[in-house]
Structure formats: C-alpha cells, structure tokens
A and B are shown apart, each in its own frame.
Chain A
Amino acid sequence: MKILVAIKRVVDYAVKIRVKPDKSGVETSNVKMSMNPFCEIALEEALRIKESGRASEVVAVSIGPAQCADTLRTGLAMGADRAIHVEYPGTLYPLSVAKIFKSLVDAEKPGLLLLGKQAIDDDCNQTGQMIAGLLKWPQGTFASKVVLDEQNKVVTVDREVDGGLETLSLDLPAVITTDLRLNQPRYATLPNIMKAKSKAIKKLSPKDLNVEIRSDLEVVQVTEPPKRKAGVILSSVDELIDRLKNEARVI
C-alpha cells in the first residue's frame, strides 16, 4: 500500500510574526521557513506505518513556490521514498489545494492520505476535510492514535474530542489528519540527509493536473492584534473598587 503525505512550508513556529507595512499579509521575505509541525507528525506516522511493514511506499507532496523543494528535501531526509512538488507561486486556498490533491490521488492511487490537521500560518483546518469530500473517502480528523489493519482494509483512529476520546473505524482508502499528540517526529540524521540527495522530486504544475486555481476569497487587510495595555499597581482596595466602578464599569 502507498501512503501520500501532504507537507506545507510555513513560517517557522518559533519566528515572531510581523505584518507587512502595507498590511497585505505577513512578512515572509528573509524569514525562517520550516515544515508545518502538524505535517511533520503526519509524515512521521506514515514512516512508522511503513517501518512496521504495513505500507510499501511513502510519497511526500508539497504545493507552493520553488522553495517548497527544500521542505520536501527535509521530508525525504526524514525517510519519505519520493516527493512530488506541485509548483505554484501565488496564494493558494484550501479548496484549490484539495482539488490538486484529488487529481494527484487519482494518478497515484494511494491507500491512505495523511495530512496535518491544520497549518500554523492560516490555521484554516479545512484541507483534509475538503479532500475527503471531493474524493468521497471516509475521514478521521484530529487523530491522536492510528492503527492500521491492512488485511481487513480498515484503519482505527482515536480522536480527541471535547468529552474525551472518540474511536472511529474507517474503510480504506481514507483521509486522516493528525493532531499534536499522535507521535514525536524524528530528526533528520546525517546518513539519511545524504541518502535524500539521490531521491527524486517530481515537479508538476496545477495545469498538469487539470486544476484551475481561483478563489472566492479576497484578503482585504491583515493587521496585528491590538497591543495589550500594561497593568497598574494600585495602592488600596478602595482605589481598586473605584477603578472597577468608574473606569472599567464592571461593578
């Protein structure tokens, strides 16, 4: 069985986000970019499934500008067998990404599609669900445990929901989106970085996949959240009551 894993290149989790002066978006030039942490977890899970003998190949896919190849290289260094880069320089929204994936799934015919539950840049949390919808595949989102039974063609997924854990049994092929507690991703070791250099990254364009990129959304403005005001130290309870009454007007 083949596993397809989606990987997104995002502003590094630890970087302090700055808004562009013209408020058109977030500053990404000269900023450290890394693999979306949830995607890292999805890839790790795919690698573990393969290492346990339940899958034969792990294919990493990234959609975006030329530099996505670096992120795919990281994926290959972690252990993915090969990679597909759908190159597109502009802004992409979840529905376009989902359409590209549908087209890729039709071509690659994987038994399982793994994605991070969301990307930390736009926090959309939509792509996995949209792909499942387009493919008409069962979906297990926010997975905190994945058990694959390839003989019976089912996968059991534990999800963390408000009331506790929900366990789903999905027929394969299926879409799974991964949550933080699923696993701890491995580091890229030197021998694997060396091996990754000879692995192939196949380049495609949305056009190759017969997907037309368009969006029903328009970003009007991106602004920073308002700065929190500094607190004050009051000298007496009376003053506190006075301030709460007359300034904050809460009592």
Chain B
Amino acid sequence: MKNLTAVSRLLRRSSRSLFDRRSNLTFLGAFCSSSSGLSYKSLQTCEQFTQDDCFHKKVMSKRIYFLRGYGVGIQSNGLRTHHRSLASIASTPERNKSFATINSDDISYFKKVLGERGVIQDEEKLDDANTDWMRKYKGSSKLMLQPRSTQEVSQILDYCNSRCLAVVPQGGNTGLVGGSIPVYDEVIINIGSMNNILSFDKVSGILVCEAGCILENLISFLDNEGYIMPLDLGAKGSCQIGGNVSTNAGGLRLLRYGSLHGSVLGLEVVLANGTVLDMLGTLRKDNTGYDLKHLFIGSEGSLGIVTKVSILTPPKLSSVNVAFLACEDYLSCQKILLEAKRKLGEILSAFEFLDINAMDLVLKQLDGLRDPLPSSKHNFYVLIETTGSMESHDKEKLEAFLVQAIESGLLTDGVVAQDINQASSFWRIREGVPEALLKAGATYKYDLSLPPEKMYDLVEEMRGRLGAAANVVAYGHLGDGNLHLNISTQQYDDNILSKIEPFVYEWTSKQRGSISAEHGVGLMKASKIHYSKSAETVQTMAAIKKVLDHNGILNPYKVLPTSVLSESGGQEPKKES
C-alpha cells in the first residue's frame, strides 16, 4: 500500500510541473487566444491528454480546472453546461471593506522582517498558491510571505493586524473545501519554510516539530525510529502537519488511533495580534486550566496560526493483514463491523466499505485493477485491516473471525491478502474511488458523519430521488461513521443539484449528523454550518473568534458565516509585550 501511494505521489508531483509547463504552452494559449470560439472539441483534446498522461489525481484535477475554473470567464456555448457546476459552493460573500490593501510600505516592512527571500510577489508562484488542489477555488492575492520562525510569524501578524490586512495561513494547500486559498486579496502566509524536527523522545514516542513539516517526511523520519504518525492520508506527500492539525484531518488510521484531539499533546500558536501562545507541552496528562489547544485543532486557521506541534506517535507494528470481503446487504456490513470490533479487538485498524456502484465504477474506470472476487457480483464490499505485533497470532485471529462470519452467513465471499502487494491492490480499490469518480464525469461530493445504522438510508433515498439521472455512489470509513456520498453525472446540471441540495444537508441535520466529517468547513460550507450546529453554538464560536481575532483578519469568509461574525461584538485583548 505504502509503495503504491508513494509512487502515485511521486507521479503526481513530477507530472505536475510537467503538466504546468505543457499546459502553458498548448492549452492556455488556446484558451486565451480564442476564448470566445473555444469549442467542446478542444476540451476533449485536453481531457484526452490528461487521461493519457497518467492516472493520478493531480492531473485529473487539472482537467476539472479547465472545465470549472477557467470556464467561468469564457462565454462559450460548449462550456456553459460544464462550468455551471460548482457543486455546493455557496455564493461567495462580498469582500470585507474594512480590510486594507497592501501598499509599498507594507512590502518594505515585510522585506525588512523576512528578507527578500521570504516575500513572494512572483506571479507564477502566487498563481499556485491562489488556487486550491482541486482547482475549484481561485483567489487573487498579490503577496505571499514565507516566515522561517515563530518570531517572524508574530511580527507579520502584529503588523497585519495593526494595518487591518487580511491573511490566509497556508500549508500544503491540499484541502478540499477551499480553506487554504485566499478568497480575495488576503496575504498568504505560507508556513512551509518552518520544517524542522525539533525533538523526538524514543521512549515516549513524542515528536515535536515545526508546523511546516510535510507529513510524509515525518512518516519516514519516524519509520527509522520504529514509530508511525497517528494519521495517514492520501495527500501525505504535500500536506503539512500544521495544516493537518488546523483542519483536524481524519484519514485512514482514525479508527485505531483516534482523532488529532487525542494525539496532539501541545501546540505553539500565534494569535492575530502577534501574541505567541506557548502550549507546547509534551505531557500525557495536564489538567491545568482550560485546554486551549483544542480550540486550534480543527479551527482551520481562523483563530491563530499553528507554528509548532507536539504529537504522540504510536510504535510501528510489523504485522498487517488485509481482507477484502463481500456482503449481500447493508445490515450485514454493520453486523460485521460489530463482530470485528469484538473479535479482532485491539488489532482492528481499518474498516472501510464501498457499495456495488462504487466497485463497478472503480473496475470500469481504473486500469490495472481486478475484481478480487470475480465469481459473482455483490451488493457491498468491506475492507478490513488488522495491525498487530505478532503475525501468527493476528492471522489466526483474523481467519477464525472470517471463518465464523462466513459460516454464519454474514459474509458471502472474501479474500485475504497473502503479501503486501495483494494488500496494496485491495487498498487501491478503496482508495481509487475518488479518482474513478473524476474520470466518470461530474461529481457532487458530500462528506458526512451519520449514525452507521442510518447511513445507507440516505443513499437509497437519494437513488429514489434521482432515478436514472445520476449514479449514486457510496463508500467511506464505516468504522468511523463517515459516509462519502458522491453523485456522479455526465455533466453538472442545476436540475440535479436542486434535487440534492438542500435535501442532503436537511437529511443529515435531521439525523444529528455532520455535514463536514473530515474535510472541514472552509469556504464551501461556511454558510451551511447551521445544519450541524445550533444557533447558540455558532454564536459562541463567533464570540470566541472575536476575542482571539478582533479584526477578523485570520482566514476571513471561512468556517463561520459572515453574517454571524458581523453581529457579535467584543473587546480587543491587549497584546502582551
């Protein structure tokens, strides 16, 4: 599994620059020179090119970029239906007029603090930082700052706050909800240069590092020490730990190691007015006063900029087993989950599911994958992973569990990986669903937390509402109660969207679920937060925001609806010197 993701990361990275270059030469020219006459045919050419290039996500998302982002400014009949699409992007709020715009004095101040190297005004670099990973959102920032120390972050923020310059903190820019890109001309504060590992305790497994460390680098550093990061996700080659903490990223290991609220032991955070909060503890137990670090885990950079992280890492275990299983109905999937928790206990490390629509899509769209259970089709597929310290014990336990499940009829069929290569190919099916969806056409994506027993009802209701108009695909982290609901269509269509939204949010709200399970709120769902949080709760959030960031300069227009923020008052706290 690891090898495969590493390879795809590598491909993603390398061909990104390749594609950028080529696209500049060939496609951008086409878009610019004949924007009004752009035909659907030329889009197909570019689509063909991207598909040929290779299978990875970055390139596929580039395609969406052409279809969505660039399409916006082009008046072309061919494109219309394609770019009228931005599934569930709320109407973006107006630029907040109280924010200042940068002038030459600002630039010279920043150059004085950061040196020439830390002040980026180069358009190409800004273009990358202005655009999100999915190429769905685009800001127009003219300035990116790259501080190298907490002190520099503090100085920048103090200055921006006094000038009322809005800022957007940015890590690896791999978010899916537009949280890490500027909406208008916010100053981008990129933490990537703060990438030192500060300490690692080999006995306790506590790692202290700067926020700009790339997750994959931390993973390989720990690998040599015999430890792993408590989180793992597809974007690990680009995403940074500061961003992971700020968005409370979930990922594949959450079932086993819990959320970052549990594994992060301490943080150093710079507030909007430049105050440095040193909460960088390395203690498992610390009940002195309010545990403020939790405010910054998952607040998406709207309360402060995380500069250092102290995190508890679990030891690396040698025995990993993966089984790919088939169930005939959703009830059996739930029963299997319950049984797996009981029978596999401490070694269960992942429990993922996909339905027949997801399986069909993956096998149809992605090359090099084969159906592990080719003898017949099944309604549901479950992937179980165990991680433990003794191969023979784990294997015996897993096989006994599976044998019992098949004898009791919960499972109809299944295969157990006999080597890492087979395990990777099972994971590739589950992890390949988003990519297959991108290849299949337009997708409306929802990342929902729901009670597991109700989860699939939504999928079936959605199928009933949409009929043959769309392919409703369901997969996700069943063990965490996290459904990835995807509605795949030929092209974006307002008619279909009106059947999905607000229905899907209302339905989730009725079940007391969350409209943002692991992807965050960002810009995409800032105005939808009330579906998951009560008015009083949102008000309290706004009040906290007001206390910590009086001028609202930190990551504006995100997380909370602007309407709520403008209502609440508060006193600006004095900065300690």
Contacts and interface: CB of A to CB of B under 8 A. Distances in A.
A and B: partners?
yes
Interface of A: 12-15, 30-32, 34-35, 37, 70, 74, 77-78, 184, 187-191, 193-194
A32 B394 CA distance: 13
A197 B413 CA distance: 17
27 contacts: A12-B419, A13-B420, A13-B421, A14-B3, A14-B419, A14-B420, A14-B421, A32-B318, A32-B319, A32-B391, A32-B419, A34-B420, A35-B418, A37-B419, A70-B392, A187-B422, A189-B414, A189-B415, A190-B402, A190-B403, A190-B415, A190-B416, A191-B406, A191-B413, A193-B399, A193-B402, A193-B416
Interface string B1-12: 011000000000
Given A12-B420, A190-B411, A190-B414, 18 more contacts: A13-B421, A14-B2, A30-B318, A32-B318, A32-B391, A32-B419, A34-B419, A70-B391, A70-B392, A188-B415, A188-B418, A189-B373, A189-B414, A190-B403, A193-B399, A193-B402, A193-B416, A194-B403
B139 interface: no
A85 B25 CA distance: 62
Given A187-B372, A190-B403, A190-B415, A37 B421 contact: yes
Contact of A188 (B3, B392, B416): B416
A35 B318 contact: no
Interface string B391-404: 11001000100110
Contacts of B2: 14
B320 interface: yes
Nearest to B372: A187
What 3 A-B pairs come out closest when comparing CB atoms? A34-B419, A14-B420, A187-B415
A70 B319 CA distance: 14
Contacts of B406: 190-191, 194
Contacts of B421: 12-14, 34, 37
Interface of B: 2-3, 318-320, 325, 370, 372-373, 391-392, 395, 399, 402-403, 406, 411, 413-422, 424
B132 to A, nearest CB: 28
Contact of A184 (B370, B413, B418, B424): B370
A37 B418 CA distance: 11
B94 to A, nearest CB: 44
Contact of B318 (A31, A188, A190, A193): A31
Nearest to A186: B415
B29 to A, nearest CB: 28
Contacts of B415: 187-190
B418 A14 contact: no
B417 to A, nearest CB: 8
A32 B422 CA distance: 13
A141 to B, nearest CB: 24
A193 B324 CA distance: 14
A77 B318 CA distance: 23
Contacts of A190: 325, 402-403, 406, 411, 413-416
Contacts of B403: 190, 193-194
B416 to A, nearest CB: 6
Contacts of B395: 70
B526 to A, nearest CB: 41
Task: Find the residue from A32, A77, A184, A190 having the highest chain B CB count within 10 A.
Answer: A190
Contact of A189 (B3, B370, B413): B413
Residue among A13, A31, A34 with the highest chain B CB neighbour number at 10 A: A34
A32 B419 CA distance: 8
B372 A32 contact: no
> Which of B370, B392, B399, B411 has the most C-beta atoms of chain A within 10 angstroms of its own C-beta?
B399
Contacts of B392: 70
Nearest to B403: A194
Contacts of B320: 32
B372, B416, B419, B422 pick with most chain A CB within 10 angstroms: B419
Nearest to A31: B318
A77 B417 CA distance: 11
Contact of B418 (A15, A30, A34, A194): A34
A246 B560 CA distance: 61
Contacts of A37: 419, 421
A94 B319 CA distance: 29
A4 to B, nearest CB: 21
A31 B414 CA distance: 26
A190 B372 CA distance: 12
